[in-house]
Amino acid sequence: MDVVFGKHWLSQCFDVKVSIVVLYPVSSAAVVRSRLTGFSSSSPQCADSKVEALCEALLTTVTQWRTRFPIPLPLELYTSSNFIGLFVEEQCAEVLKTFAADFATEAASKADVRVEPHKKQLHVTLAYQFQANHLAALEKLAKGIDINLGCDWVAVLFSRDIRFANHETLRVMYPYAPQNDDELELVPGDFIFMCVMEQTSTSEGWIYGTSLTTGCTGLLPENYIMRADECDTWVFHGSHSFQNAASPRGCDGALDGRLQEEHGPGESPTLSVICQPMQRGLFVCRHGERMDVVFGKHWLSQCFDVKGRYVRSNLNMPASLPQRSGGFRDYDKDAPITVFGSTQARLVGEALLESNTVIEYVYCSPSLRCVQTAHNILRGLQQENSLKIRVEPGLFEWTKWVSGNTLPAWISVADLAAANFSVDTTYRPHIPVSKLTVSEAYETYIGRSYQVTKEILFDCKSKGNNILIVAHASSLEACTRQLQGLPPQNSKDFVQVVRKIPYLGFCASEELGDTGVWQLVDPPILPLTHGPNHTFNWRETLVQD
């Protein structure tokens, strides 16, 4: 652990937390991502060992209140020059305070944690601290919310690191490599905690901060970060619905990809009966570790004899490989993944399963490494027998990167199915292999990736909420950038981005309503990091001449 994640790995994995219980509405209205804070732990520290007991206390309280919680919860719109929000009517606010008191009793009994009701007036914030010229547009949007719509409410348990309670939370926007020993490395997507009291001693344009990921503290350029919500760094522990009747699968996903419904043995999900389709999600993932990269371009000569029989020469090589109609030489341009590559993919699938992420459709590049990766992700999701992979040649990488004057001789879908891969043999590709050209221009590749992604999204518009694309490192950029309404990067900058994407690099985007515009969001799973391991020959190392 310390070699892969650094000497500060303990600060990434162990901390002292304050538990927070939050009430969320789950509906089709624009309030789905707002939060109504009902109460929080007044104890300065809550040990991790008490989290399970707190979850049990929350479930017990919600279960008792499922027939008593006011649904729909009456809300009143309030606007001012710098705030727009929905406030809970006074009578119902008293009901929520009673619910908080009941939870406090359970928390004290089951977890020995003292909980006090929240003192401020209960409300859902829609917008605040906005520019004055945005007031009219925001107010119009707020008035368009039908607050009388039926919706479910869920009680959610989070925790946060008490060490950074009085720090400002910042999000890293651009990478930065330290130039001096006192500087902090910045990785996009990481969070930085900044203590305002310590900033008087820094140089202009530089601040002191602590990385959430590494726990390291140092100087960093101020223009590389932006302000973020503190709740973006909270750790999710569980959520419970107040509705009794079951509803369609996936409605809870509108709340947040991190939220997981906790159920007892045999208990069904209990979400809103009146629930609109949630925002669609698109996940793009790179394939797993390649054989030819790990063992070199001459790996075929290590594993195949003159008769074409395969025998692995390393434990990280698969025990067997699928037969190819063109012979084993076709593996030269279409390499499989390693054993560890399969493990990487399965770990991603298991993480998606644990996060309650529902995948409705899976598309992948025709490259064997992508098919194998998608298959093993489905194994981790426990859906290898129920969800079929759609092999789409239009998702293949930039053909300029293919050596020689011909494209790879990919294994046919029929042969993949015969080799027990979970592929859809009835799928008709949007861009068949015959439409791909060797050494295509950069603009052609970018246009192809954007076109096939749009057509995939259109095909699945009314059929599923979450789509997974398993392809190449370049796909994470090529399949998502123009969906955000952004122009393509130049080829030089594009290559620099692609080089930073590791095996099983994973990104997530979601559609903004029905606008057709998508935005990148935090993935529902953690990143996957591992260290190198070179070939060890005991004879060369240990035997002395």
Q: What percent of the chain has pLDDT over 90?
A: 40
Q: Which residue has the higher pLDDT, 114 or 514?
A: 114
Q: Can you tell me the distance from the alpha carbon of 144 to that of 135, in angstroms, rounded to the nearest whole number?
A: 14
Place of tokens 């996957």: 528
pLDDT score of 254 more than 60: no
The string of pLDDT tens digits covering residues 127-159 is 888 888 888 888 888 888 877 766 667 788 887
What does the pLDDT read at residue 244? Answer: 46
Residue 91 binned pLDDT confidence (cut-offs 50, 70, 90): confident
Dihedral, CA of residue 250, residue 256, residue 259 and residue 261, to nearest 10: -20
Residues belonging to the chain:
545
pLDDT score of 176 more than 60: yes
Place of tokens 């206390």: 57
Residue 448 binned pLDDT confidence (cut-offs 50, 70, 90): very high
What does the pLDDT read at residue 12? Answer: 61
The CATH code for residues 281-521 is 3.40.50.1240
Burial class of residue 296 (count of CB atoms within 10 Å of its CB; 0-12, 13-18, 19+): exposed
Neighbouring CB atoms inside 10 A of 258's CB total 18
Burial class of residue 129 (count of CB atoms within 10 Å of its CB; 0-12, 13-18, 19+): exposed
For residues 315-326, average pLDDT: 93
Respond yes or no: is residue 472 known to be catalytic: yes
Look up residue 17 and give its amino acid. Answer: K
Q: Can you tell me the distance from the alpha carbon of 291 to that of 317, in angstroms, rounded to the nearest whole number?
A: 7
Residue 199 binned pLDDT confidence (cut-offs 50, 70, 90): low
The string of pLDDT tens digits covering residues 348-380 is 999 999 988 989 999 999 999 999 999 999 999
pLDDT score of 200 more than 50: no
Report helix, strand and coil shares of the chain as percent, to nearest 5.
35, 20, 45
Q: Which residue has the higher pLDDT, 503 or 159?
A: 503
- The angle formed by the CA atoms of residues 29, 254 and 451, to the nearest 5 degrees, is 105
Phi, psi of 341 (to 5 degrees): -60, -40
DSSP class of residue 176 equals B
DSSP string, 509-529: EEE-TTSS-EEEE--SS----
Q: How far from 453 is each of 449, 473, 477, CA to CA, in Å?
A: 6, 15, 12
What does the pLDDT read at residue 272? Answer: 31
Beta strands per DSSP E along 141-274: 152-161, 168-172, 191-194, 206-211, 217-221, 225-227, 235-241
pLDDT score of 277 more than 50: no
Residue 68 in tokens: 């008593």
End-to-end CA distance of the chain: 35
Q: Residues 510-529, buried b or exposed e (16+ Cβ, 10 A)?
A: bbeeeeeebebeebbbeebe
What does the pLDDT read at residue 87? Answer: 83
Q: 197-206, 229-238, 358-367: which range is least confident on average? A: 197-206
What does the pLDDT read at residue 78? Answer: 87
What does the pLDDT read at residue 68? Answer: 78
Q: Which residue in the list 123, 160, 258, 287 is annotated as catalytic?
A: 287
Query: Please, what is the average pLDDT of the chain?
Result: 81
pLDDT score of 25 more than 70: no
Nearest to 427 by CA among 417, 418, 438: 417
Q: Which residue has the higher pLDDT, 78 or 244?
A: 78
Beta-ladder partners of 116: 40
Residue 81 binned pLDDT confidence (cut-offs 50, 70, 90): confident
Burial class of residue 458 (count of CB atoms within 10 Å of its CB; 0-12, 13-18, 19+): exposed
Respond yes or no: is residue 263 known to be catalytic: no
Which residue intervals of the chain bear CATH 3.40.50.1240? 281-521
Q: How far from 288 is each of 127, 165, 502, 520, CA to CA, in Å?
A: 42, 39, 9, 22
Residue 150 in tokens: 């039926």
- The angle formed by the CA atoms of residues 90, 241 and 26, to the nearest 5 degrees, is 70
Q: Are the C-beta atoms of 130 and 82 separated by less than 8 Å?
A: yes
Look up residue 295 and give its amino acid. Answer: F
Respond yes or no: is residue 287 known to be catalytic: yes
Q: Which residue in the list 123, 167, 286, 430 is annotated as catalytic?
A: 286
What does the pLDDT read at residue 150? Answer: 61
Beta pairing, strands 466-471 & 281-286: parallel
* DSSP three-state, residue 21: strand
Residue 45 binned pLDDT confidence (cut-offs 50, 70, 90): low
List of long-range contacts for 293-300, beta carbons under 8 Å, 24+ apart: 293/335, 294/338, 297/332, 299/335, 300/328, 300/329, 300/331, 300/332
Beta strands per DSSP E along 63-174: 75-79, 83-88, 115-117, 123-128, 152-161, 168-172
The string of pLDDT tens digits covering residues 399-418 is 999 988 899 999 999 999 99
Beta-ladder partners of 159: 19, 235
DSSP class of residue 412 equals P
What does the pLDDT read at residue 161? Answer: 76
What does the pLDDT read at residue 256? Answer: 39
Place of tokens 């070699």: 3
- The angle formed by the CA atoms of residues 280, 276 and 62, to the nearest 5 degrees, is 105
Place of tokens 């459709």: 361
